[in-house]
Structures are given as structure tokens and as C-alpha cells.
Amino acid sequence: MELGKLNQEYIDAVAICEIDKSTFAALGVEEGDPVRIETVLGSVVVRSSLDRRAEPGVAFIPCGPYANVILDSDTLESGMPGYKTMDAKILPAKGESILTTEELLKTMTEGV
């Protein structure tokens, strides 16, 4: 974050979805391939990343603009979004690009 949130290093750090080996196999993707994460609130394409400690059926996306696309802003008066209780679909996104932070924010604000 010290380098700014519009550079490639930041995108590489937050535009990821960490999943376990069995999820990679079920999706037919390899580490680093793009995946689309879909919730009832939206969808985003991020890079797949292997988490050797992850449980099947559990995925992790770091806090940041890519997670915000699919995250409910309703905190149920707790002040914290429901990071750990969100249902989502993970789909292969072969041929799809991961947006830059600027492109992602533009789609969020302008619907482009």
C-alpha cells in the first residue's frame, strides 16, 4: 500500500482469490488463471492463487476494491461487513482480463 493503489504491485496483492487444490481441480484451472467470483451483489475477475491450508468450499479475497465489488455494504449495525459469511460462485474465466484498479473503479461508479 505504501507504493499506492493504482500500480501493478497493488493489483497483484489484492486481485486474487485463494482456493484449495480440490477447487482448482473442480474448476479445471491452474494457479494464476483468471477466475470470476459471483455473488448476488456483483462479479469480479481476479487471479487464482493456491492456499495449501484452505478448506474445500472456502475462498479468500484480500480486502480492497476487488472484494468490495462482491461484498454487501450492509453491516447489520455492527460496523463490519459480513466478510466471512458470504455465498459466492467461482467460475473459470479463461480469456477474461483482470481490470486495473482504475478500470474497476470506473465500472463501479459509472457502470461502464
Show Cβ contacts of residue 36 under 8 Å, excluding neighbours closer than 6 positions: 43, 44, 45, 90, 91, 92, 93, 96
For 16, counting Cβ atoms within 10 Å of its Cβ (0-12 exposed, 13-18 middle, 19+ buried), the class is buried
Cell of 87: 455465498
0.75 exceeded by pTM: yes
pLDDT in tens, the chain (112 residues): 566 788 888 999 999 999 999 999 999 999 999 999 999 989 999 999 999 998 998 999 998 899 989 987 766 666 666 666 788 999 999 999 999 999 998 988 886 5
The domains located in the chain, with CATH, are 8-95 (2.40.40.20)
Show Cβ contacts of residue 7 under 8 Å, excluding neighbours closer than 6 positions: none
Q: Residue 68 half-sphere exposure, CB side, CA atoms within 13 Å?
A: 10
